[in-house]
Structure 1
Amino acid sequence: MRTGLWTTAAGVAVVAVLGVLVAAGVVWPNRILAAGYDVRGVDVSHYQGEIDWDVLAEQDLEFAWIKATEGASHTDPRFAANWAAAMKTDLLVGAYHFMSFESSGAEQAAHLAAEVPATPGTLPPVIDLEFYGAFYDDRPTPGEVHAILDPLVAGVEEHYGVPPIVYATDEAYDLYLADRYPNLPIWIRSVVWAPRLSDGRDWTIWQYSNRDRLPGYDGVEPYIDVNVFAGTRTELEALTLD
Structure 2
Amino acid sequence: MTLFGIDISNNNGPNLNLAQVKAEDFDFVFCKVTEGSYFRDQTWPAYRDAAKSAGLIVAGYHYLTTDPIDAQADLFLDQLGDPNGEVGIMVDFEMNGGGQENYWAFVRAINARGREVNLSYEPRWYWQRIGSPQLGDLPGLIQSSYVSGGGYASALYPGDDSTYWAGFGGDNVDILQFSDQGSVAGNSLDVNAFRGTRDELAALVYGKTEGAKVAVPEEQTPVATEKFVADFIKGFDGPIYATAAAVLKELTGSTIVGEFPGFENELGGRTVVGFLGALGEKLGIEGCHDPKAGA
- Give the TM-score normalised by structure 2: 0.58
Question: Residue 5 of structure 1 corresponds to which residue in structure 2?
Answer: none
Question: Residue 93 of structure 1 corresponds to which residue in structure 2?
Answer: 58
Deviations 1:37-93 (A, max 9, x none): 521111101111211121121111111011110001201121122112112111111
Q: Tell me, what secondary structure is at the counterpart of 1:182?
A: coil
Deviations 1:113-171 (A, max 9, x none): 11113355744211111115xx9xxxx5x3xx52x322211122343533331102212
Q: Runs of 5+ in structure 1 lacking a partner?
A: 1-36, 217-221
Letter in 2 for 1:157: N
Q: Tell me, what secondary structure is at the counterpart of 2:65?
A: coil
Question: Residue 219 of structure 1 corresponds to which residue in structure 2?
Answer: none
* Conserved 8 A contact 1:160-1:241: no
Percent identity between the two aligned chains: 23
* Conserved 8 A contact 1:92-1:122: no
The within-5 A match list for 1:58-207 is: 58-101=23-66, 103-118=67-82, 120=84, 122-131=86-95, 140=98, 142=99, 146=101, 148-159=102-113, 161-174=115-128, 175=130, 178-192=133-147, 194-207=164-177
Please tell me the root mean square deviation across aligned C-alpha atoms, in Å.
2.4
The whole-number CA distance in structure 1 between the counterparts of 2:200 and 2:135 is 24
- Deviation of 1:95 after TM superposition, in Å, equals 0.3
The whole-number CA distance in structure 2 between the counterparts of 1:94 and 1:177 is 27
* Conserved 8 A contact 2:16-2:185: no
Letter in 2 for 1:41: G
Q: Tell me, what secondary structure is at the counterpart of 1:198?
A: coil
Letter in 2 for 1:82: Y
The whole-number CA distance in structure 2 between the counterparts of 1:232 and 1:212 is 22
1:48 to 3, 7, 12: 12
* Conserved 8 A contact 1:119-1:241: no
Indicate the larger mover: 162-171 or 82-91.
162-171
Quick check: which has more Rg, 1 or 2? 2
Letter in 2 for 1:45: S
Question: Residue 231 of structure 1 corresponds to which residue in structure 2?
Answer: 196
Taking a change above 3 Å as real, the CA distance of residues 150 and 201 of structure 1, as seen in their structure-2 partners, is: closer
Indicate the larger mover: 76-85 or 39-48.
76-85
Taking a change above 3 Å as real, the CA distance of residues 121 and 55 of structure 1, as seen in their structure-2 partners, is: farther
Q: Name the count of aligned residue pairs.
A: 190
* Conserved 8 A contact 2:120-2:138: no
Taking a change above 3 Å as real, the CA distance of residues 229 and 157 of structure 1, as seen in their structure-2 partners, is: farther
- Deviation of 1:198 after TM superposition, in Å, equals 3.1
The whole-number CA distance in structure 2 between the counterparts of 1:55 and 1:42 is 12
With a CA cutoff of 8 Å and minimum separation of 6, indicate the structure with the bigger relative contact order.
Answer: 1
